[in-house]
C-alpha cells in the first residue's frame, strides 16, 4: 500500500511540470502556429503551420502598409464584405483547431483528474481568447455589409448603371446635395431646413459647399409638371405654407403628379434636386438626407464632437446655455449648436452647421470608427437616406480620402444681407456659383457691376431681427468662397 501511494505521488509530481510545459507550448502555438508541433517532433505539419502563419502576418502587414486605400475601397463593397466575414470565421476555426491539437500533442500521457480538469479549463479559456476577437471581427464585418445594403441600393435604387472604370463619366466635378431633414413627432412630413450642394473636384478632392437658405421664395421650378403648376415660382400648398424652398421636398411627396414615375420617398429628393439644379445652374448628381434627430445619435456614437464655441448659445427648453470655450458636445448639444435660433438667425445657424460638419469630418478618424463601429452603424441606418449607388462607393471612398487628407473645403452662402430671400436675384446666384466652381477665391468683395447677393462664412451677419449672432457666419459683402478651416473657430 505504501509503495503504491508513493508511486502515485511521484507520478503526480512528474505530471504537474508536464502539464505546465504542455500549457506553455499550447500558449506559444496560439501566438505562433506550429510551435508545439515542432517541439513534439511533428516537423512537417509544424513547418506548414508556421509558414502559413508567417505568410498571413506578412500579407496583413503589406496590405496595411501599402494597399490601405484599396482596402478602404473594398471595405464598402458588400460582396467583398461577405467574403471577408466568411474568411474571418474560417481563420478563427483553424486557429482554435491549432490550439486544441497543440495541447493534445504536448500534454502528458497520464494526468490526475484535477490536473486534467485544470488543463481542459485553461485550453478552453485560451480558445475563447482566440474566438472572441475573431467573432467580433466577423460580426462587425456583417454589420458593415448590412448597413451598406440598407442605405445604398444597387444602381442607387433607380436602375442607373455605373461605369466602374470611369465612375465619374469624365466629369471634372461630382455634385452631392446634402440635406438636413427637420422631421418631428409633432409635425407631418419632412422640412429640408439645411440644403447644401457639395461640389467636389474628382481629381484633387477640393470642395466647394454652396448653401441655400431654407426661406428662399419665388423659387423657379424645373421644366415639366411642377413648372406648369408654378410658372412664376413655387408658392406652396395653400394656406399655412408660405412657399419656401424647404417645402419643396414634402410638396413632391404629397403630390405624386408633379414627379411622374417616381416612387414614394423618391419624389421629394428628385424634385428638390431638379429645383436646386435650376437655381444654381449646376447638375445635382446625388443627394444625402440626414434626419436631424438621427444626427444626434451619430454624434453620440462617435463619443461626441470637439467644437470651439465663441459666444453663449441657448440650449434646450429649460434656459440652458452652451458656454464659450473648447467643448466636446454630445449629440443633443451638437444638434442645438447647429439649430438654435435664439438671439440668432437662420443664416448664423447655417454657418454653425457648416463648422459642425467640418469638425465631424475631421474627427471621424479610423480609430473612432473602428472602436465605435456597431453604434455608428446602427445610428447611421436610422439617420441617412441617399440615392448614391453601391457601385459608386469605392470611388467616393477614394475621393473622401483626398478631401480628408487636407484638400481645401470652401463655403459660399447665399444669404442676407447680400441676398434678399423674399425676392432673390437668381441670376447673380448662378454667376457667383460659376465663379466659385471655377476656383475664383481671390479678393473679397463683389465687383461694382454685380449687385451683392451672396456671402462666405467669414464673419457674422446682422440678423433678421437685428439681434446678436453667436456663430461663424456671413456679414460682409464677400462673394468669393473661403475655407471652413480658416473661418471656423479653432
Domains of the chain with CATH codes = 2-151 (no CATH), 173-487 (3.40.630.190)
Asked if 340 and 315 touch (Cβ cutoff 8 Å), the reply is: yes
State the DSSP code for 100.
Answer: H
473: left (phi > 0), else alpha (psi -120 to 50), else beta? beta
Q: Which of 308-312, 383-387, 476-480 has the lowest mean pLDDT?
A: 476-480
Higher pLDDT: 484 or 375? It is 375
At 15, the pLDDT band (50, 70, 90 cuts) reads low
pTM for this model (two decimals): 0.76
Q: What is the pLDDT of residues 25-55, one digit of tens each?
A: 999 999 999 999 999 999 999 999 999 999 9
Cell of 71: 482596402
What is the predicted pLDDT for the residue at 129?
Answer: 96
260: left (phi > 0), else alpha (psi -120 to 50), else beta? beta
Asked if 411 and 206 touch (Cβ cutoff 8 Å), the reply is: no
Whether the bond between 417 and the residue before it is cis, its omega within 30 degrees of 0, is: yes
- What integer is the mean pLDDT of 360-379? 72
- What integer is the mean pLDDT of 19-24? 93
Among 485, 422, 487, 409, smallest CA distance to 453 is for 422
At 265, the pLDDT band (50, 70, 90 cuts) reads confident
3-class SS shares of the chain: helix, strand, coil, % to 5:
50, 10, 35
Q: Given a cut of 80, is residue 161 above it in pLDDT?
A: no
What is the predicted pLDDT for the residue at 474?
Answer: 41
Grid coordinates 434626419 are at which residue?
291
- What integer is the mean pLDDT of 100-111? 90
H-helix or E-strand spanning residue 129: helix 113-151
CA–CA gap between residue 196 and residue 212 (Å, rounded): 6
Total residue length of the chain: 490
What is the predicted pLDDT for the residue at 187?
Answer: 54
What is the predicted pLDDT for the residue at 105?
Answer: 94
pLDDT > 90 fraction of the chain, expressed in percent and rounded: 40
Beta-carbon neighbour count of residue 40 at 10 Å?
15
Q: What is the pLDDT of residues 80-102, one digit of tens each?
A: 999 999 999 999 999 999 999 99
Q: Output b/e per residue, 408-435; b: 16+ Cβ within 10 A.
A: bbbbbbbbbbbbebeebbbebbebbbeb
Higher pLDDT: 337 or 453? It is 337
Q: What is the pLDDT of residues 396-430, one digit of tens each?
A: 888 887 776 666 788 888 987 777 889 999 999 99
> Directed axis angle between helix 292-302 and helix 373-383, to 10°?
170
Q: Given a cut of 70, is residue 387 above it in pLDDT?
A: yes
At 292, the pLDDT band (50, 70, 90 cuts) reads confident
H-helix or E-strand spanning residue 192: strand 192-201
State the DSSP code for 224.
Answer: T
Q: If DSSP codes are grouped into helix, strand and coil, which group holds residue 234?
A: coil
What is the predicted pLDDT for the residue at 160?
Answer: 59
Q: Given a cut of 60, is residue 446 above it in pLDDT?
A: no
Positive/negative CA dihedral, 383, 389, 393, 398: negative
What's the mean pLDDT when you consider all of the chain?
81
Amino acid at each position: 500500500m505504501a509503495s503504491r501511494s508513493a508511486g502515485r505521488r511521484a507520478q503526480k509530481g512528474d505530471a504537474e511540470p508536464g502539464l505546465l510545459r504542455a500549457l506553455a507550448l499550447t500558449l506559444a502555438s496560439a501566438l505562433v502556429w506550429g510551435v508545439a508541433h515542432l517541439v513534439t517532433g511533428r516537423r512537417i505539419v509544424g513547418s506548414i503551420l508556421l509558414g502559413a502563419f508567417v505568410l498571413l502576418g506578412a500579407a496583413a502587414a503589406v496590405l496595411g502598409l501599402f494597399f490601405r486605400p484599396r482596402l478602404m475601397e473594398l471595405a464598402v463593397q458588400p460582396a467583398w464584405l461577405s467574403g471577408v466575414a466568411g474568411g474571418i470565421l474560417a481563420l478563427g476555426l483553424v486557429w482554435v483547431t491549432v490550439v486544441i491539437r497543440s495541447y493534445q500533442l504536448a500534454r502528458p500521457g497520464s494526468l490526475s483528474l484535477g490536473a486534467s480538469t485544470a488543463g481542459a479549463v485553461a485550453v478552453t479559456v485560451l480558445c475563447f481568447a482566440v474566438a472572441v476577437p475573431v467573432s467580433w471581427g466577423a460580426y462587425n464585418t456583417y454589420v458593415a455589409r448590412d448597413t451598406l445594403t440598407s442605405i445604398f441600393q444597387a444602381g442607387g435604387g433607380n436602375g442607373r448603371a455605373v461605369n466602374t472604370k470611369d465612375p465619374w463619366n469624365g466629369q471634372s466635378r461630382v455634385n452631392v446635395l446634402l440635406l438636413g431633414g427637420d422631421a418631428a413627432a409633432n409635425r407631418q412630413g419632412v422640412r429640408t431646413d439645411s440644403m447644401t450642394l457639395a461640389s467636389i473636384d474628382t481629381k484633387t478632392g477640393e470642395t466647394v459647399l454652396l448653401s441655400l437658405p431654407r426661406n428662399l421664395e419665388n423659387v423657379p421650378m424645373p421644366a415639366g409638371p411642377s413648372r406648369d403648376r408654378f410658372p412664376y415660382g413655387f408658392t406652396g400648398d395653400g394656406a399655412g405654407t408660405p412657399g419656401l424652398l424647404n417645402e419643396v421636398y414634402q410638396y413632391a411627396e404629397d403630390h405624386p403628379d408633379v414627379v411622374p414615375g417616381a416612387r414614394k420617398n423618391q419624389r421629394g429628393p428628385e424634385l428638390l434636386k431638379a429645383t436646386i439644379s435650376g437655381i444654381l445652374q449646376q447638375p445635382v448628381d446625388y443627394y444625402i438626407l440626414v434626419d436631424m434627430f438621427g444626427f444626434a445619435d451619430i454624434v453620440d456614437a462617435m463619443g461626441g464632437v470637439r467644437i470651439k464655441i465663441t459666444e453663449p448659445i441657448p440650449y434646450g427648453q429649460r434656459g440652458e446655455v452652451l458656454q464659450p470655450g473648447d467643448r466636446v458636445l454630445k449629440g443633443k448639444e451638437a444638434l442645438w449648436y447647429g439649430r438654435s435660433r435664439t438671439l440668432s438667425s437662420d443664416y448664423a445657424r447655417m454657418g454653425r452647421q457648416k463648422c459642425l460638419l467640418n469638425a465631424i469630418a475631421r474627427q471621424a478618424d479610423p480609430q473612432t470608427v473602428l472602436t465605435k463601429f456597431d453604434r455608428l452603424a446602427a445610428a447611421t441606418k436610422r439617420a441617412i437616406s441617399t440615392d448614391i449607388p453601391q457601385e459608386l462607393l469605392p470611388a467616393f471612398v477614394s475621393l473622401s480620402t483626398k478631401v480628408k487628407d487636407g484638400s481645401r473645403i470652401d463655403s459660399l452662402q447665399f444669404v442676407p444681407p447680400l441676398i434678399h430671400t423674399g425676392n432673390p436675384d437668381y441670376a447673380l446666384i448662378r454667376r457667383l456659383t460659376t465663379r466659385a466652381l471655377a476656383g475664383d477665391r481671390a479678393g473679397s468683395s463683389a465687383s461694382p457691376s454685380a449687385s451683392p447677393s451672396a456671402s462666405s462664412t467669414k464673419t457674422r451677419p446682422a440678423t433678421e431681427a437685428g439681434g446678436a449672432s453667436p456663430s461663424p457666419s456671413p456679414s460682409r459683402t464677400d462673394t468669393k468662397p473661403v475655407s471652413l478651416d480658416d473661418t471656423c473657430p479653432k
